[in-house]
C-alpha cells in the first residue's frame, strides 16, 4: 500500500499518540494472528541469577519471553547495559548465537561436479563404459581400454565445462548478493559505529531513524515519535506507532522518528527468521526445463533402445555373431546416439545467460527460471515502486485555486507550511514541487511552526515576510479540517466547488491537500489573524516511473500481458493504469472471494481474472490465488513482490521476481532478484531469456537429429553389410561435436516476438526428417563404394581391399569423416529460421566448427590407429567426402521449408484447433502447473539429491547442498500451506 492512502504519522517533535484509550478487545483482535497481543509487560519466570546466557534458554518461551517482559529484565537476562557490549563480548556472542542472518549451506564443489554425471543420459554412457571394461573382457580379448578411457574422458570433459560455467555464474550472483548486505548502527563500548547487520548479537544497542531498516528484533529503550512499517512481515497496512518498551521486528522499516533499542534476537530466531524457516531447500520438485529435458532424453533413449534390441536379435540370433563382435556394434549405438552433452550444453547456456542478465542488474537465483521466463505470457506487477516511483509528488496539472493566488503561489505557500528537515512524505513532496528546496524558507523569517499531528491533521507556519515586514500564517492539511478554519471565504459556493474538486480527485485516485492563508495585525505572532482564506487544493499522487509506459508497451509487443496487482485503493490503481496506458478495467480484491456479480458479462471468476487489467486492495493471499488461477488457465505467470508475505505468490509463480529493495524473505522465495528499480529490467530479462531459449531449442533439434542419424545409420549398415564400425571413432565424433556445440551458449540469435514454448512434436519431427536424410547421405556413399568402382574409376583413388570390403579400415575412416563433417554442419540449418547463410552465426561457433573439421580431416589423412581398426586415406578420398557432403548439405534448408509447409503446419493447426475447442468448452488448457514433478522427471531435477542423501548417511561433510541457483525456495506443499494460512488469517483491513 503506497503512502498516498496512508494517514501520516506524527511529526518528529510532536507527542506520540496515546494508546491508553484503545479498546483492549480491539487491540487483541488486531494482533492475535501475529503472536504479539500481550496486554502489558510481564516478569520473566526464571531466576535471574541462575539463567545462563545461551540460545537454548533465551529462546525457550516456556522459560522466558524477551518480547514481552519488562525492559529491565531484558537487560538483566542479556547481561548488558545501555552503553553497549564490549568488542570482545560481541565476538564471544557471535560464537554463541551465530551471525544475524539466515544460514545458507555451503555448496560442495565435488558433489556439484559429480552432479553433471547424474542424469539418465549420463547413466547410459556410464553403462557403456562398464560394457567396455567388463563385458568386453572375453573370448581371448582384453578389456576395451581405449573405449573405456574415451568414454570416461568425454564424461569428465562435459562435467568440467558445466561445472566451470556454473561456478562462474554462481560467483557472479554471490558478488551481487554480497553488495546488498545491510548495515546497522551499533553502540559498542560506549561509542557508535556502523557495521554489517550480520555481526549483531543479542544485547547489542542499536539505533535507527526514518528510512532505515530495523536490523534485528529489538526492544525500544528510547523512541521519539517512531512509526514502523511492518506490513512486509505482518500484513498490517498502516505504519504502527511505537513507544519505549515496544518490540520492533527485523526487516521492518522506520517511517518516522528515530529510536534506540536493545537487540533481543538475531538470525533464524527473529520473527522474520521463523517465518523464513518455511523455505524448503532439499526439495525434489522439477522445473519446466527439467520436464522438457526428461522428454527429449526419453525420445533419445527409446530410439536407442529399439535399435539396440534390434541389433541383439539380428546380429546374435540372425548372423550368429560372436559375443565380443556384437558388443562393438551395440557400443556404437550407445555412444553415438546418446546426446551426452545435452545437460552440459543446457547448463552452460543457462549459466552464460545468468551472467548476461547480471549485467542488467538481475540476479538469477534459480537458473532454470531463465527458460521459463521466455515463455511467460502474463506478468503480474506490483504498482508501488515498480510501476511507480514510490515517491509522493504534486500533480501540477490538477491544482485548483480559490482566490487571487496562482497555482505557483499555492505551491510556495504550501511549502512554507512544510518542514524542511526530518520531513514526512507529504512535506517532502510539497517542498520538492518548488524545484529548489531553499525557496521554502527564502524571503521569510520563521516565527512559529506547528507540525502535523493526528488530532489536528494539519501543519501551520507563522512567519514574517522580510520584504514587507508583515506577519502571515499558512496552514495545509485535510480538506475537511482546513475548510472549517476558513472564516473569510467559506461560502456555499466555495464549499460546493471544494467538495466537487475533492470528489474528482478521489475518482482519479489523487489525494487532496487543502491550503489556507491569513494575515496578522501587529507584531504578536501568537495573536489571532484576520481569518483563514482557502486559496488552493493540491493533488498528491505516486507518479509512474519515466520508463514504465515504454516498458509496458515493449512487454505487450513481446506478447506479455501486464496486470497490475496492488494493495492501493481501486481509484488509485485505475488512475495509474490510465496514465500508463495499461487500462483501467480493474477490480477490488473482494471479487476474488465473491466472484462476478450476477448478470455481469463474466460467466466465471477465471474469465474475470483474464479480462481484468489489474486488481486493487490485494493482500498476499489474493496474489497467490490470482497466480494459481492464471496457471490453471494454461499461462506461464511471472509475479513481482517485495515483502515477506509475498513469498507464497512468488514461489507459486513460474517466475517469481523480487523487485529492488525487497526483503530477504522475498528474495529467498524469488527466482530473479532485481537490484535496480522499475520494470524495464524485467523486459530486458524477457528478451534475453528468449535469446537463451532459442539457443536451447536449436540445440535440442540438433541433438535429437544426430541421435536418429547415428543410431539408424549404423544399425542399417550393420544389418546390410555386417559393418563393424569401431566405437572409438564414434567417441572422437562425439568429442569434437561437443566442443563445437558448447559455443551455442553464446551464439547470435534473435529473440522471438511472442512467448516461447517447447513444442516437442515439432522438435522431434524436424529431428526425424534431418536424421533420416543424413542417414541416407551415408548409406548412399557406402553403397556406391561397396557396390561400384565409380570413385576409383573417376578420381583414381583406391582402398586396401579390392573389391571394397565392408570392414576395410580405410572405409571406416571414410565413413568417420563423412559422418563427422555433415553431422556438425547440421547445426547451421537448425539454428536458422530461413536459409542458413541469411543468419550469421557467432564467431565462436564458426571458429569452433572450422577447427573441428580441420582436426577431422587431419585424422582422416594421417591417423593409422591399429587399436581401433582404422587407417588413413589419401587426399583424394578426403576431397571426395567434402564434395559429397556439400552436395548433400545444400538441400537441408529445403527440407526445413518443406517440413514447415506440411508436417509442422499440420501440427500447429491441430494444436490451435484443440486450443480453440477447449476454450469454447470452458476447459482449462494446462500448459504448466507451477513447478510440478513426477518420478520420471525428477531424475533430471535435483541432480545431487541422491548423492547428498548417501553422503549424509556415511558422514561425508555436514553441510552439503546443491547449487543455490537450482534450489526450490518453497516446496509446493509449503507454499500451499502458507497460502492457506494467509487465507485463514487475512490482514486486518482486507477489502
pLDDT digits (tens, 9 = 90+) for 718-748: 999 999 999 889 888 988 888 888 888 888 8
Under 8 Å between Cβ of 925 and 633: yes
Q: Which residues pair with 656 in a beta bridge?
A: 639
* Distance in angstroms between the alpha carbons of the first and the last residue of the chain: 12
Report pLDDT for 4: 33
- Digit-coded pLDDT (tens) for 665-681: 677 678 888 888 777 88
The CATH code of the domain that includes 900 is 1.20.1110.10
Judge if 474 and 521 occupy the same domain.
Answer: yes
Judgement on whether residues 552 and 636 belong to the same structural domain of the protein: yes
Whether 659 is in a domain gets the answer: yes
Q: Which cell numbers hold the place of 511? A: 489525494
Q: Give the domain extent around 531.
A: 393-541
- Across 387-413, average pLDDT: 86
SS3 614: strand
* Residue 511 shares a structural domain with residue 586: no
- Region of poorest pLDDT, from 161-165, 424-428, 693-697, 755-759: 161-165
Do 609 and 656 lie in one domain? The reply is yes
Based on the number of CB atoms within 10 Å of its own CB, is 108 exposed (0-12), middle (13-18) or buried (19 or more)?
Answer: buried
The answer as to whether 583 is a domain residue is yes
Tell me how many helices (H) and strands (E) the chain has: 36, 22
835: number of Cβ within 10 Å? 12
286-329 residue pLDDT tens: 455 667 777 888 888 889 899 999 999 999 888 888 877 888 88
Residues near 808 by Cβ (< 8 Å), separated by ≥ 6?
A: 799, 800, 801
pLDDT value of residue 775: 96
Check whether 134 has a pLDDT greater than 80. no
Q: Are 515 and 482 in contact (CB under 8 A)?
A: yes
Alpha-carbon span 786 to 792, nearest angstrom: 11
Cα–Cα distance between 617 and 525 in angstroms, integer?
A: 45
From the list 336, 276, 247, the residue with the least C-alpha distance to 300 is 336
Q: What is the pLDDT of residue 941?
A: 44
Q: Any bridge partners for residue 476, and if so which?
A: 459, 515
Cβ contact 964:315 at 8 Å:
no
Residue 5's pLDDT band, with cuts at 50, 70 and 90, is: very low
781 and 761 part of one domain = yes
**Does 217 sit behind a cis peptide bond, omega within 30 degrees of 0 on the bond before it?**
no
Burial 848-869 (b: 16+ CB within 10 A, else e): bbeebbeebbebbeebebeebb
877 and 762 co-located in one domain: yes
pLDDT digits (tens, 9 = 90+) for 758-789: 888 899 999 999 999 999 999 999 999 999 99
Domain stop point among 499, 525, 541: 541
The SS3 assignment for 27 reads helix
CA distance 532 to 824: 85
What three-state secondary structure class fits 400?
strand
Closest by CA position to 255, among listed 569, 8, 5, 513: 8
At 432, which CATH number?
A: 3.40.1110.10
Mean pLDDT of all residues in the chain?
Answer: 77
> Which of residues 862, 887, 916 is at a domain's end?
916
pLDDT at 537: 92
The CA distance from 814 to 22, in Å, is 92
CB 246 within 8 A of CB 220: yes
Q: Are 660 and 731 in a shared domain? A: no
Which residues are known to be catalytic?
382
Instruction: Examine the pLDDT at 3 and tell me if it is beyond 50.
Output: no
DSSP letter string over 861-892? HH---GGGT-----HHHHHHHHHHHHHHHTTH
- 404 within domain boundaries: yes
Question: What is the chain's Cα-based Rg?
Answer: 36
User: What per-residue confidence (pLDDT) applies to 170?
Assistant: 58
Say how far apart CA 982 and CA 990 lie, in whole Å: 11
Q: What pLDDT does 18 receive?
A: 38
Q: Do 436 and 334 belong to one domain?
A: no
- How is residue 705 written as a grid cell? 537429429
Instruction: Give the residue among 658, 504, 641 at the shortest CA–CA distance from 567.
Output: 641
Asked if 607 and 638 sit in the same domain, the reply is yes
Q: Using the 8-state DSSP alphabet, how is residue 974 labeled?
A: H
Q: Within 13 Å, how many C-alpha atoms sit on residue 869's CB side?
A: 17
Q: What is the pLDDT of residue 901?
A: 92
Asked if residues 531 and 518 have their Cβ atoms less than 8 Å apart, the reply is yes
- Residues in contact with 96: Cβ distance below 8 Å, sequence separation at least 6, in sequence order: 53, 54, 55, 201
**Length reported for the chain:** 991
Is the separation of the CB atoms in 979 and 985 below 8 Å?
no
pLDDT > 80? residue 823: yes
Count of structural domains within the chain: 3
Q: Are residues 745 and 890 in the same domain?
A: yes
Q: Mutual orientation of helices 760-787 and 875-889 as an angle, nearest 10°?
A: 140
Q: What is the pLDDT of residue 290?
A: 66
pLDDT of residue 821: 95
Domain-located, residue 817: yes
Residue 309 lies in a domain: no
Reported as half-sphere exposure (CB side, CA atoms, 13 A), residue 914 has a value of 9
Domain final residue pick, 487, 511, 541: 541
Question: Range with the lowest mean pLDDT among 273-282, 473-482, 504-513?
Answer: 273-282
What is 277-310 written as a DSSP string?
Answer: TT--SS-----HHHHHHHHHHHHHHHHHHHHHHH
Pair (704, 849) in one structural domain: yes
What grid cell was written down for 847?
A: 571458429
Q: Does residue 60 belong to any structural domain of this protein?
A: no
489 lies in the same domain as 581: no
Contact of 586 with 615, CB cutoff 8 Å: yes
Greater model confidence, 865 or 952: 865
pLDDT, tens only, 368-397 = 788 888 889 999 988 877 788 777 888 888
Beta strands (DSSP E) in 399-481 are: 400-401, 444-450, 458-465, 471-477
Whether 124 is in a domain gets the answer no
Cα separation of 76 and 89, whole Å? 15
Q: CATH number, domain at 591? A: 3.40.50.1000
Q: Is the pLDDT of residue 919 over 60?
A: no
Torsion sign across C-alpha atoms 553, 554, 559, 563: negative
Does residue 94 sit within a domain? no
pLDDT at 940 over 80: no
Amino acid at each position: 500500500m503506497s503512502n498516498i492512502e496512508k494517514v501520516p504519522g506524527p511529526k518528529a517533535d510532536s507527542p506520540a499518540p496515546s494508546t491508553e484509550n484503545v479498546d483492549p478487545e480491539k487491540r487483541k483482535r488486531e494482533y492475535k494472528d501475529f503472536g504479539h497481543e500481550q496486554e502489558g509487560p510481564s516478569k520473566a519466570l526464571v531466576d535471574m541469577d541462575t539463567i545462563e546466557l545461551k540460545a537454548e534458554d533465551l529462546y525457550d518461551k516456556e522459560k522466558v519471553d524477551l518480547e514481552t517482559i519488562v525492559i529491565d529484565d531484558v537487560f538483566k537476562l542479556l547481561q548488558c547495559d545501555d552503553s553497549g557490549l564490549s568488542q570482545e563480548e560481541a565476538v564471544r556472542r557471535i560464537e554463541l548465537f551465530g551471525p544475524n542472518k539466515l544460514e545458507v549451506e555451503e555448496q560442495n564443489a565435488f558433489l556439484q561436479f559429480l552432479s553433471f554425471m547424474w542424469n539418465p543420459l549420463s547413466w547410459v554412457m556410464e553403462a557403456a563404459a562398464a560394457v567396455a571394461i567388463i563385458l568386453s573382457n572375453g573370448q581371448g580379448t582384453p578389456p576395451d581400454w581405449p573405449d573405456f578411457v574415451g568414454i570416461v574422458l568425454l564424461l569428465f570433459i562435459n562435467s568440467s565445462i558445466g561445472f566451470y560455467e556454473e561456478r562462474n555464474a554462481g560467483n557472479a550472483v554471490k558478488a551481487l548478493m554480497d553488495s546488498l548486505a545491510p548495515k546497522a548502527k551499533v553502540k559498542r563500548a560506549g561509542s557508535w559505529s556502523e557495521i554489517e547487520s550480520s555481526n549483531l548479537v543479542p544485547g547489542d544497542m542499536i539505533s535507527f531513524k526514518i528510512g532505515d531498516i530495523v536490523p534485528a528484533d529489538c526492544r525500544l529503550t528510547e523512541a521519539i515519535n517512531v512509526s514502523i512499517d511492518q506490513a512486509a512481515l505482518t500484513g498490517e497496512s498502516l505504519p504502527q506507532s511505537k513507544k519505549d518498551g515496544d518490540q520492533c521486528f527485523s526487516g521492518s522499516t522506520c517511517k518516522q522518528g528515530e529510536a534506540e533499542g536493545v537487540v533481543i534476537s538475531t538470525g533464524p530466531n527473529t520473527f522474520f527468521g521463523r517465518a523464513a524457516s518455511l523455505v524448503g531447500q532439499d526439495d525434489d520438485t522439477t522445473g519446466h526445463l527439467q520436464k522438457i529435458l526428461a522428454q527429449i532424453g526419453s525420445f533419445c533413449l527409446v530410439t536407442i533402445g529399439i535399435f539396440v534390441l534390434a541389433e541383439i536379435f539380428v546380429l546374435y540370433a540372425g548372423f550368429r555373431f560372436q559375443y565380443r563382435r556384437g558388443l562393438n556394434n551395440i557400443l556404437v549405438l550407445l555412444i553415438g546416439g546418446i546426446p551426452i552433452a545435452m545437460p552440459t550444453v543446457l547448463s552452460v547456456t543457462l549459466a552464460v545467460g545468468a551472467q548476461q542478465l547480471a549485467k542488467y542488474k538481475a540476479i538469477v537465483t534459480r537458473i532454470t527460471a531463465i527458460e521459463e521466463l521466455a515463455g511467460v505470457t502474463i506478468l503480474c506487477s506490483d504498482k508501488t515502486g515498480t510501476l511507480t516511483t514510490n515517491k509522493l509528488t504534486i500533480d501540477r496539472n490538477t491544482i485548483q485555486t480559490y482566490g487571487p493566488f496562482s497555482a505557483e503561489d499555492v505551491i510556495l505557500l504550501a511549502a512554507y507550511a512544510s518542514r524542511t528537515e526530518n520531513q514526512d512524505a507529504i512535506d517532502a513532496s510539497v517542498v520538492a514541487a518548488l524545484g529548489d528546496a531553499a525557496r521554502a524558507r527564502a524571503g521569510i523569517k520563521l516565527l512559529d511552526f506547528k507540525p502535523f499531528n493526528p488530532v489536528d491533521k494539519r501543519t501551520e507556519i507563522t512567519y514574517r515576510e522580510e520584504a514587507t515586514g508583515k506577519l502571515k500564517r499558512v496552514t495545509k492539511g485535510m480538506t475537511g479540517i482546513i475548510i472549517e478554519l476558513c472564516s473569510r471565504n467559506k461560502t456555499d459556493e466555495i464549499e460546493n466547488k471544494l467538495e466537487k474538486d475533492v470528489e474528482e480527485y478521489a475518482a482519479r485516485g489523487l489525494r487532496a491537500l487543502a491550503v489556507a492563508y491569513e494575515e496578522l495585525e501587529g507584531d504578536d505572532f501568537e495573536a489571532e489573524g484576520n481569518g483563514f482564506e482557502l486559496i488552493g487544493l493540491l493533488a498528491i499522487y505516486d507518479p509512474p516511473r519515466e520508463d514504465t509506459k515504454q516498458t509496458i508497451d515493449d512487454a505487450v509487443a513481446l506478447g506479455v500481458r501486464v496486470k497490475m496487482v496492488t494493495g492501493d485503493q481501486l481509484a488509485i490503481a485505475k488512475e495509474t493504469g490510465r496514465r500508463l496506458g495499461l487500462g483501467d478495467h480493474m477490480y477490488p480484491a473482494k471479487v476474488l472471494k465473491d466472484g462476478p456479480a450476477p448478470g455481469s458479462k463474466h460467466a466465471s471468476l477465471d474469465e474475470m481474472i483474464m479480462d481484468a487489467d489489474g486488481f486493487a486492495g490485494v493482500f498476499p493471499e489474493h496474489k497467490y490465488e490470482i497466480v494459481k488461477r492464471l496457471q490453471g488457465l494454461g499461462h506461464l505467470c511471472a509475479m513481482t513482490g517485495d515483502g515477506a508475505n509475498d513469498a507464497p505468490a512468488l514461489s507459486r509463480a513460474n517466475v517469481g521476481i523480487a523487485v529492488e529493495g525487497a526483503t530477504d524473505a522475498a528474495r529467498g522465495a524469488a527466482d530473479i532478484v532485481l537490484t535496480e528499480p522499475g520494470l524495464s529490467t524485467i523486459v530486458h530479462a524477457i528478451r534475453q531469456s528468449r535469446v537463451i531459449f532459442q539457443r536451447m531449442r536449436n540445440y535440442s533439434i540438433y541433438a535429437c537429429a544426430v541421435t536418429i542419424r547415428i543410431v539408424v545409420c549404423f544399425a542399417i549398415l550393420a544389418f546390410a553389410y555386417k559393418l563393424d564400425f569401431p566405437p572409438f571413432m564414434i567417441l572422437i565424433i562425439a568429442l569434437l561435436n561437443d566442443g563445437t556445440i558448447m559455443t551455442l551458449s553464446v551464439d547470435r540469435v534473435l529473440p522471438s516476438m511472442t512467448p516461447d514454448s517447447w513444442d516437442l512434436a515439432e522438435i522431434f519431427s524436424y529431428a526425424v526428417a534431418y536424421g533420416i536424410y543424413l542417414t541416407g547421405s551415408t548409406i548412399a556413399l557406402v553403397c556406391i563404394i561397396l557396390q561400384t568402382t565409380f570413385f576409383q574409376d573417376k578420381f583414381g583413388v583406391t582402398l586396401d581391399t579390392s573389391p571394397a570390403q565392408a570392414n576395410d579400415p580405410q572405409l571406416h575412416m571414410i565413413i568417420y569423416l563423412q559422418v563427422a563433417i555433415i553431422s556438425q554442419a547440421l547445426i547451421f540449418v537448425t539454428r536458422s529460421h530461413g536459409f542458413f547463410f541469411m543468419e550469421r552465426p557467432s564467431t565462436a561457433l564458426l571458429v569452433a566448427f572450422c577447427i573441428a573439421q580441420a582436426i577431422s580431416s587431419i585424422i582422416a589423412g594421417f591417423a593409422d590407429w591399429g587399436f581401433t581398426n582404422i587407417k588413413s586415406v589419401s587426399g583424394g578420398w578426403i576431397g571426395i567426402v567434402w564434395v559429397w557432403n556439400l552436395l548433400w548439405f545444400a538441400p537441408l534448408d529445403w527440407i526445413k521449408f518443406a517440413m514447415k509447409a506440411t508436417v509442422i503446419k499440420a501440427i500447429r493447426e491441430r494444436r490451435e484447433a484443440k486450443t480453440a475447442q477447449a476454450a469454447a468448452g470452458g476447459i482449462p488448457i494446462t500448459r504448466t502447473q507451477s513447478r510440478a514433478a513426477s518420478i520420471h522427471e525428477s531424475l533430471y531435477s535435483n541432480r545431487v539429491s541422491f548423492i547428498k542423501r548417501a553422503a549424509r548417511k556415511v558422514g561425508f561433510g555436514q553441510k552439503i547442498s546443491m547449487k543455490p541457483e537450482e534450489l526450490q525456495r518453497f516446496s509446493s506443499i509449503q507454499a500451499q500451506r502458507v497460502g492457506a494460512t494467509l487465507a485463514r488469517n487475512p490482514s486486518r483491513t482486507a477489502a
